[in-house]
Amino acid sequence: MTVTASACAADDRRARISAYLDELAQQRRLSPHTVSNYRRDLQSLCGLIADLPGDCGFNAIRTPHVRRFVAQLHTHGLGGRSLGRTLSAWRGFYRWLGQRGVTTHNPVDGVRPPKSPKALPKALSPDEANLLLEAPCENLLAIRDQAIFELFYSSGLRLAELAALDLAGLEDLLAGEVRVLGKRSKVRIVPVGSKAREAVAAWAAQRPKMAASDETALFVGRRGKRLGVRMIQLRLARRGLAQGLPARVHPHMLRHSFASHVLQSSGDLRAVQEMLGHASIASTQVYTHLDFQHLAAVYDQAHPRARRKTE
């Protein structure tokens, strides 16, 4: 059986990408979710290269090719933010190829994604958050869910961080702090409020009825094993609908709500940055815009020269 040059080129591209992703996962210890995103972005690069005439290797790609690729992806509906992440993945991969002598240049350098309007993160109002968390706990699953949702809102955890919590950390959690492994394997300690501690204690008392004897996870599903992130998302969305909230509630919305409400009350941006585990304060500053929206609404209602005159 004859192997074509095109097939050989495609195999080489796939092998390079696999080696790069292995390094990201094993040496740089990026999260599985991040590695999965990189894989998808680099596979799209391979697909775009495969559509070019000839048997192009990575070294044959130039900046005009990359600009054309970005235009193609944008035409297919990819927004500026997604394209920015994709370009970042490509840029890092080409930097890695250059360090190994595979390429002589980085064609992604200098290429910028199209600008798109920045969407503010969606957060619940304090009243909506209270409504979500005031549902009756009538069964074992509801007790577990209450502990999960209170912990999201109390400490601003990411979905993967909460799902990864182990029973071994229960004592510290009930004492008022939770230790989590965040992005890039950075450990941080976040305070836990009294309502969340009460909810977790209630779940911990019931957990043996559901958990398998050898399961280390704090939160488990019907089969006694660690509760998956998808099920947490579904349970939260279902709770939001049952409580009559107008928008579909997801875990990151509770993280946004935590950040927004703490910032509104304290004004301490640095503290919110630490609790969220943001590497850059620029990531946290988006919540100042949410805070301003809240203040603007109060101003519009309170200031005599801001209120619209009625006919």
Check: CB of residue 60 under 8 Å from CB of residue 13: no
Check: CB of residue 193 under 8 Å from CB of residue 160: no
Check: CB of residue 107 under 8 Å from CB of residue 62: yes
Residue 309 lies in a domain: no
Q: Do 75 and 134 sit in the same domain of this protein?
A: no
Residue 310 lies in a domain: no
146/134 Cα distance (integer angstroms):
9
Instruction: Tell me the CATH number at 227.
Output: 1.10.443.10
Q: Do 141 and 274 sit in the same domain of this protein?
A: yes
Q: Do 173 and 279 sit in the same domain of this protein?
A: yes
Q: Do 155 and 275 sit in the same domain of this protein?
A: yes
pLDDT for position 280: 56
Residue 311 lies in a domain: no
For 22-83, the DSSP string reads HHHHHTS---HHHHHHHHHHHHHHHHHHHTSSS---GGG--HHHHHHHHHHHHHTT--HHHH
Residue 104 lies in a domain: no
Q: Do 95 and 131 sit in the same domain of this protein?
A: no
pLDDT for position 285: 53
Task: Please identify, among 47, 80, 99, the residue that sits at the C-terminal boundary of a domain.
Answer: 99
Q: Do 289 and 175 sit in the same domain of this protein?
A: yes
Task: Please identify, among 82, 99, 116, the residue that sits at the C-terminal boundary of a domain.
Answer: 99
Nearest Cα to Cα of residue 192 among 204, 176, 168: 176
The per-residue pLDDT string of the chain (311 residues; one tens digit each, 9 = 90 and over) reads 344 556 667 788 889 999 999 999 888 888 888 889 999 999 999 888 888 877 678 888 999 999 999 988 888 888 888 899 999 999 999 999 999 998 999 999 989 988 766 655 678 888 999 999 998 898 999 999 999 999 999 888 889 999 999 999 999 999 998 888 877 677 888 888 899 999 999 999 999 999 999 999 999 999 999 999 999 999 999 999 999 997 889 998 888 888 877 777 666 667 666 677 655 555 555 555 544 444 445 445 554 544 554 44
Active site residues: 158, 183, 252, 255, 278, 287
Residues 6+ apart with CB under 8 A from 259: 123, 156, 272, 275, 276, 284, 287
Q: Do 178 and 227 sit in the same domain of this protein?
A: yes
Q: Do 157 and 61 sit in the same domain of this protein?
A: no
Q: Do 137 and 17 sit in the same domain of this protein?
A: no
Q: Do 136 and 280 sit in the same domain of this protein?
A: yes
Check: CB of residue 77 under 8 Å from CB of residue 35: no
Residue 111 lies in a domain: no
Q: Do 130 and 231 sit in the same domain of this protein?
A: yes
Residues 6+ apart with CB under 8 A from 79: 116
Q: How many domains is the chain partitioned into structurally?
A: 2
Torsion of CA 158, 162, 164, 169, to 10 degrees: 130
Q: Do 166 and 18 sit in the same domain of this protein?
A: no
Residue 163 lies in a domain: yes
Where does residue 275 rank: exposed (0-12), middle (13-18), buried (19+ CB within 10 A)? buried
Across-strand partners of 166?
A: 217
pLDDT for position 187: 81
Residue 57 lies in a domain: yes
- Domain assignment of residue 76, given as a range: 5-99
